[in-house]
Structure 1
Amino acid sequence: MRAQLSFAAADRLHRSAEFLRLQRNGVRFQSPHFVVYASRLEHEPERSRLGVTVSRRIGNSVLRNRVKRRVREIFRKGLRASLPVGTSLVVIARGGAGALESATIDDELMMAARNLKGRIGGRGD
């Protein structure tokens, strides 16, 4: 039995092909510090998944990993529940994301989820 707020390995996008497919076929939303791609995948209809990309331009490894941890935590605690079941996300951090507080990251990602929710509702990529 899986806890409601867990974030297991099955909840992550692992292969670069999965990231690229979402970026090619998914809907896109840009915020000041993030680019978010979302799509519903037919082979994983009951599980929402997340992939996070943070390039070296954001900062050193400590800063990059902090941004990734914060995005995963926001996804786990609230973002996943605000999207249709089976939605996969790719979050790409842009310049300045490393300096943000968790609350600001949460606001930007929740704004992205609200925007994307209506656009991916009937779409089955």
Structure 2
Amino acid sequence: MIPEAHRLRHGDDFRRVFRAGVRVRSDHLMAHSLSENDDSHAARVGFIVSKAVGNAVKRNRVKRRLREIMRPRLVEFDSGSLFVLRALPNAAEAEFAVLESEVGDLIEKARRKQARSGRRTRPRT
């Protein structure tokens, strides 16, 4: 389980990541990442698994896998970072090892893309 301090839950936070962050994609996943200058909160991660992925059993399996993949990787993120993983429809058929590899690649791609674009936001007031 991901600790509560590291969970991204509010729609406003998701929208902020989508609008101001960078987006990267792999075969089974899409990631949105935003590094904020606000160090008042821990790095937070959110998951989106739509009905296009499959029935409730498949969606929940994908969410559990993604949470387990992200849990040990939380220490890799700076304070104030927001990271959203969106499962694409074919994610339900992917093996755990494939998803794990793709998550690692997406984190790296997002870091490089953020460094290139210089996308950092000011803290909310």
Q: 4+ runs of 1 displaced by more than 6 Å?
A: none
Distance in 1, matches of 2:80 and 2:2, equals 14
In structure 2, distance between residues paired with 1:83 and 1:42: 13
Q: Which residue of 1 aligns with 2:71?
A: 76
- 2:112 maps to a residue whose letter is G
1:99 equivalent in structure 2: 93
Alignment partner for residue 82 of structure 2, among 84, 88, 91?
Answer: 88
In the other structure, the counterpart of 2:36 is 41
Which of 109, 121, 124 aligns to 2:120? It is 124
| Aligned amino acid, residue 101 of structure 1 | E
Partner-residue secondary structure (3-state), 2:78: coil
Amino acid at match of 2:34: S
Distance 1:31 1:44 in 2: 29
TM-fit CA distance, 1:32? 0.9
SS at match of 1:110: helix
> What is the number of equivalent residue pairs in this alignment?
119
Identity of counterpart residues, as a percentage? 32
Normalised TM-score (structure 2): 0.84
1:14 equivalenced with 2:14 (yes/no): no
Closer, same or farther in 2 for the Cα pair 1:43/1:82, shift >3 Å? closer
Unmatched segments (≥5 aa) in structure 2: none
Letter of the 1:62 partner, please give it: V
| Structure 1 residue 117: Cα displacement | 1.6
Query: How far is the alpha carbon of 1:46 from its aligned partner?
Result: 5.2
